[in-house]
Amino acid sequence: MSESVQEKASFIVVANRLPVDRVSGDDDQVSWRTSPGGLVTALEPVMQSRGGAWIGWHGAPDEQVEPFHHQGYDIIPVPLSSQDVEQFYEGFSNATLWPLFHDCIAEPVFHREWWDCFRKVNRRFAQAVAERADNGATVWVQDYQLMLVPQYLRELRPDLRIGFFLHIPFPPPELFSRLPWRSEIIEGVLGSDLLGFQFPGCVSNFIRVARRLPDVEGARGRVHLPDGRMVSIKAFPISIDAVGMRDLANSPEVRAEAEKLRHELGDPQTILFGVDRLDYSKGLRGRVRAIGELFDSHQLDPETTVFLQLATPSRERVEEYRALRGDIDLMVGRINSESDSLARSPIAYRYTSVPRETLAAMYQIADLMIVTPLRDGMNLVAKEYLACRSRNDSALVLSEFAGAALELKQAYMVNPYDIDGMKATILKALNDPPRVKARKMRAMRKQVFEHDIDLWADSFLTELESD
């Protein structure tokens, strides 16, 4: 933080959250450390090499934080009030757009006040970018919370090169059309020069929706606008730092923690593992139910098998999330209380956040990874598991409704709405011959290491900055 903040930046990432977390020392001195998220891991090397700026909210409402320099690039905080957090973030972003874009698994809520706040906050972000961007700068806008920023920014700074990437699915027109402000949202992201989505189906959905606007034509990955502009629209499947995850998982510290974790679980012969943000889109209710029935029927033996489920806290002030937590607590409690095993509980459930080292250790000890979202833009957990497994003696059960299913074709695919089908697939993944599982793991690991996070960022930025 000793370096001064630059007045202008030629490369800017703008996201709802900044890539840093605040740390308070014993002497009440505040410092900032890099957040552990995958997006930060992907973009930080790019920003360090370009000397750019990251614009976003620092995470605390009703507080102004001055810009500062961090790890080779500038941090530019955008303030949010408590009302902004309630209406823009918890409201329109996560109670309107999130469920709508995830196939209406939960019912979206449409409030005019939330929409007004969403517009106001998006304009504030665009203004912050416009003030910081150098002439002809490249700006990369991230995700659904900022879908109006590209248009607002183009109005303020038509000289900029603007890219937008949506990390979650984009729904089909039949669902998207429920949104009262559907035209404004589409016009907002069409302020970009390049739109990126996780998989081709999202590209098709978006073009179908965009073509409903007056005088807009779209086909073959391009949308032509009435003002003469042409917007490119492509799929850029996001990935992980596969080498970094592999090296972390194979470090002596993580290997030691893995052995400790296995011992704490009672040294079972077989460990099934799931890790998810506690969100209704992740399919936790169905997964726990399927596992519970397998234990009840003794197709899984609680004397030799443990299901470890890590659920990280999420949006705890939102009613649907509080209800989900209560449901999972009750289901796990019932399954464990009815178990005949005195040695251990069949389900080891942890509602907490853990360091990446601990997560890597959990991947290391998992004989079977179960990833069963009802809808997911990508799901990087599946890819992290593959990177962390140095041996090919394990298996991945994966929902066909995760974006990752289009890349990890050798996974044991399930329909997460089909409880009996999920149970049968879990048993097949456990009992298939070792040579079959090894062949599947080798193919999936090859995919993850050849299509890593660097390739994702490089391919998007190369496309954005090409003439």
Same domain, 79 and 214: yes
Question: In this predicted structure, what is the pLDDT of residue 340?
Answer: 77
Span 143-159, pLDDT tens digits: 999 999 999 999 999 99
Same domain, 142 and 220: yes
Kindly tell me if the per-residue pLDDT of 315 is higher than 90: no
Kindly tell me if the per-residue pLDDT of 422 is higher than 80: yes
Same domain, 132 and 175: yes
Same domain, 296 and 227: no
Q: Which range is least confidently modeled, 25-34, 87-96, 160-169?
A: 25-34
Question: In this predicted structure, what is the pLDDT of residue 47?
Answer: 85
Span 256-268, pLDDT tens digits: 999 999 999 999 9
CATH number at residue 91: 3.40.50.2000
Same domain, 330 and 403: yes
Same domain, 65 and 140: yes
Confidence bin at 22 (pLDDT 50/70/90): confident
DSSP string, 218-282: EETTEEE-TTS-EEEEEE------HHHHHHHHTSHHHHHHHHHHHHHTT--SEEEEEEEES-GGG
| Residue 397 to residue 429: CA distance in whole angstroms | 7
Question: In this predicted structure, what is the pLDDT of residue 111?
Answer: 98
Q: Which residue would you say has higher pLDDT here, 314 or 232?
A: 232
Q: Which domain holds residue 46?
A: 9-238+455-465
DSSP string, 440-463: HHHHHHHHHHHS-HHHHHHHHHHH
Span 69-97, pLDDT tens digits: 998 999 999 999 999 999 999 999 999 99
- What is the DSSP secondary structure assignment for residue 376, as one 8-state letter? B
Section 150-169 average pLDDT:
98
Span 342-396, pLDDT tens digits: 778 999 999 998 999 999 999 999 999 999 999 999 999 999 999 999 889 999 9
Confidence bin at 1 (pLDDT 50/70/90): very low
Same domain, 199 and 309: no
Kindly tell me if the per-residue pLDDT of 2 is higher than 60: no
Residue with tokens 């000289």: 159
- Spacing of C-alpha 213 from chain mean position: 30
| Residue 203 to residue 222: CA distance in whole angstroms | 10
Question: In this predicted structure, what is the pLDDT of residue 29?
Answer: 78
Three-state secondary structure of 113-132: HHHHHHHHHHHHHHHHHHHH
Kindly tell me if the per-residue pLDDT of 457 is higher than 80: yes
Same domain, 266 and 186: no
Burial of 413 (0-12, 13-18, 19+ CB in 10 A): middle
Same domain, 212 and 348: no
Section 3-25 average pLDDT:
89
Span 195-251, pLDDT tens digits: 999 999 999 999 999 999 999 998 889 999 999 999 999 999 999 999 999 999 999
Question: In this predicted structure, what is the pLDDT of residue 467?
Answer: 61
Same domain, 379 and 461: no
* Average per-residue pLDDT for the chain: 94
Q: Which residue would you say has higher pLDDT here, 167 or 50?
A: 167
Task: Examine residue 2 and state whether it is found in any structural domain, yes or no.
Answer: no
Same domain, 224 and 368: no
When divided into structural domains, the chain yields a total of: 2
Task: Examine residue 412 and state whether it is found in any structural domain, yes or no.
Answer: yes
pTM of the predicted protein model = 0.94
Same domain, 250 and 380: yes
Span 396-409, pLDDT tens digits: 999 999 999 999 99
Confidence bin at 6 (pLDDT 50/70/90): confident
Percent of the chain with pLDDT over 90: 84
Instruction: Give Cβ neighbours of residue 405 (< 8 Å, ≥ 6 apart).
Output: 398, 399, 411, 413
Q: Is 286 in a helix, a strand, or coil?
A: helix
| Residue 185 to residue 410: CA distance in whole angstroms | 36
- What is the DSSP secondary structure assignment for residue 93, as one 8-state letter? I
Percent of the chain with pLDDT over 70: 99
Question: In this predicted structure, what is the pLDDT of residue 109?
Answer: 96
Q: Which residue would you say has higher pLDDT here, 367 or 3?
A: 367
Q: Which range is least confidently modeled, 61-75, 124-138, 314-328, 401-415?
A: 314-328
